[in-house]
């Protein structure tokens, strides 16, 4: 059998990459306008960062990490998510000492050992934002609003914002006890994963997809009823800000994020048509993570979007025509070939997209390829043109053509006459 990409990974071929570029450009523009700045952290980190930052009782740390020993016998892990690395960098570089709020975003591959299916891979990509240093509910509303702006700009119109509050640590400790007390008599009826979580991470049982467990959970005490007055107030402020921003939401009392460090606001954007893989964005507040990883107490909030799922939903959007003329250079004969390459480089320096045919085949075959390439114009240099230092400019759409001096093509006036303003 031939070589194949590892299970759960996929190649993004040039035709699909166009959509990725569009997605990235859109996100970058929206985040730039809100003064978020890009950060890149390593693709692998010390395993202990994720154990401490995500939590040992989570699925990610428990069974999804790609962990290995390097040749120096260090335990390293391919990052399963972006937040832990960003927080590590924030602490390591003392970004908190720059005062004020840090608004950061990142984009890159993440790795989780999961059962691959449509919209679920072992290497996938996330775009994420993190706002560090503000406990203000406006930060919660701002990150949610930006996520929605990005989803809408990509053409996802019918996404639903699901919202919940998981309170603070104290609220959760009280609730956790009430939940365990309620669930214990039903322990034998829970699905095996949930039985396992009953004492390790009972809140995650709320998230179970098993119908029998769900039926039991539906009657369970609600986390929202255990919020302290200040948690309650934060949650109400977030809701009223969303209303002022005109952002509809649904409260989902069983929405709990899978990561231990979340506090207060938890949210997801869901798109109906993707089924269980319908969550395109998930996030929430994590007011204790920075401190848990050794930094100063710093409230924070963020989200991450799964880009493969977004690309699936962006669907077959028409390709936007390139605003820059795209030239295809066809040559025949060694002197013409050399001139063609030099001319191409000079035109590229002027900002044109220039593709050179290296096949050495007949004019007819090269012209066929020019037509398939998506180019707007073909530049033809044969032996006669090479001798006279000229070039035939051919408009591929109309077939019209004109002979011009190469020097003319390289003058600003000549180029703008032939190809329009650059």
Q: Point out the annotated binding site for L-histidine.
A: 81-83, 112, 126, 130, 257, 261-262
In the set 304, 336, 343, 347, which binds ligand ATP (CB under 6 A)?
A: 304
Neighbours of 180 (CB within 10 A): 15
Residues 414/408, Cβ–Cβ less than 8 Å: yes
Smallest gap, in angstroms, from Cβ of residue 66 to ligand ATP?
12
Q: Which is nearer to ligand ATP, 109 or 414 (CB)?
A: 109
308 binding ligand ATP? (CB under 6 A): yes
107 binding ligand ATP? (CB under 6 A): no
Q: Which is nearer to ligand ATP, 50 or 186 (CB)?
A: 50
Q: How many CA atoms lie within 13 A of 74 on its CB side?
A: 10
Closest residue to bound ligand ATP by CB: 306
In the set 105, 124, 226, 262, which binds ligand ATP (CB under 6 A)?
A: 124
Q: Which stretch binds ligand ATP (CB under 6 A): 84-92, 111-119, 235-243, 383-391?
A: 111-119
Smallest gap, in angstroms, from Cβ of residue 258 to ligand ATP?
5
> What residues contact 383, with CB distance under 8 A and at least 6 apart?
332, 333, 335, 336
Smallest gap, in angstroms, from Cβ of residue 161 to ligand ATP?
13
Q: Which is nearer to ligand ATP, 141 or 313 (CB)?
A: 313
279 binding ligand ATP? (CB under 6 A): yes
Q: 227 to 266, contacts with ligand ATP by CB under 6 A?
A: 258
Residues 204/193, Cβ–Cβ less than 8 Å: no
302 binding ligand ATP? (CB under 6 A): no
Residues 227/165, Cβ–Cβ less than 8 Å: yes
Phi and psi angles of residue 233, each rounded to the nearest 5 degrees, phi first: -65, -45
Phi and psi angles of residue 302, each rounded to the nearest 5 degrees, phi first: -165, 175
Helices 83-92, 47-54: crossing angle, 10 deg rounding:
110
Q: Which of 231, 279, 270 is nearest to 250 (CA)?
A: 270
Find tokens 């004019």 and name the residue: 363
Distance separating the N- and C-terminal Cα atoms of the chain: 50
Q: Which stretch binds ligand ATP (CB under 6 A): 132-140, 156-164, 280-288, 315-323?
A: 280-288
Residues 163/267, Cβ–Cβ less than 8 Å: yes
Smallest gap, in angstroms, from Cβ of residue 109 to ligand ATP?
10
Q: Compute the distance between CA of residue 21 and CA of residue 2 in angstroms, rounded to an integer.
A: 30
In the set 45, 52, 81, 194, which binds ligand ATP (CB under 6 A)?
A: 81
Which stretches of the chain bind ligand ATP, using CB under 6 A?
81, 112, 114, 119-121, 124, 126, 258, 279-282, 304, 306, 308-309
């Amino acid at each position: 059998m031939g070589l194949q990409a590892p299970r759960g990974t996929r190649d993004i071929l040039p035709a699909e990459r166009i959509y990725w570029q569009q997605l990235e450009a859109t996100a970058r523009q929206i985040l730039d306008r809100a003064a978020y700045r890009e950060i890149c952290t390593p693709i692998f980190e010390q395993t202990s960062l994720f154990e401490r930052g995500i939590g040992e009782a989570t699925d990610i740390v428990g069974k999804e990490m790609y962990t290995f020993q390097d040749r120096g016998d260090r335990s390293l892990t391919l990052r399963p998510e972006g937040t832990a690395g960003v927080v590590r960098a924030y602490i390591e570089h003392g970004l908190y000492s720059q005062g004020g709020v840090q608004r950061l975003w990142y984009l890159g591959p993440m790795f989780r050992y999961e059962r691959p299916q449509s919209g679920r891979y072992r290497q996938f990509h996330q775009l994420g934002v993190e706002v560090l240093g503000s406990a203000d509910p406006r930060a919660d509303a701002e990150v949610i609003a930006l996520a929605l702006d990005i989803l809408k700009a990509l053409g996802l119109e019918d996404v639903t914002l699901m919202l919940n509050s998981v309170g603070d640590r104290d609220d959760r400790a009280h609730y956790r006890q009430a939940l365990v007390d309620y669930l214990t008599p039903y322990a034998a009826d829970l699905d095996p994963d949930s039985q396992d979580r009953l004492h390790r991470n009972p809140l995650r049982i709320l998230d179970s997809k098993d119908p029998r467990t769900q039926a039991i959970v539906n009657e369970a005490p609600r986390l929202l009823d255990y919020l302290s007055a200040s948690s309650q107030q934060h949650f109400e402020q977030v809701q009223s800000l969303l209303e002022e921003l005109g952002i509809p939401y649904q409260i989902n009392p069983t929405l709990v994020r899978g990561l231990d460090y979340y506090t207060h606001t938890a949210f997801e954007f869901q798109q109906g048509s993707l089924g269980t893989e319908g969550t395109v964005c998930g996030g929430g507040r994590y007011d204790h993570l920075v401190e848990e990883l050794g930094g100063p107490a710093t409230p924070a909030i963020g989200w991450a979007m799964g880009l493969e799922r977004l690309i699936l939903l962006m669907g077959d959007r028409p390709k936007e025509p390139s605003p820059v003329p795209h030239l295809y250079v066809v040559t025949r004969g060694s002197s013409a070939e050399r001139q063609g390459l030099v001319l191409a480089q000079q035109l590229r320096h002027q900002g044109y997209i220039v593709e050179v045919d290296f096949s050495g085949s007949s004019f007819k075959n090269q012209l066929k390829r020019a037509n398939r390439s998506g180019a707007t114009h073909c530049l033809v240099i044969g032996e006669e043109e090479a001798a006279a230092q000229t070039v035939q400019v051919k408009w591929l759409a109309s077939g019209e053509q004109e002979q011009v001096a190469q020097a003319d093509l390289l003058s600003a006036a000549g180029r703008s006459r032939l190809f329009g303003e650059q």
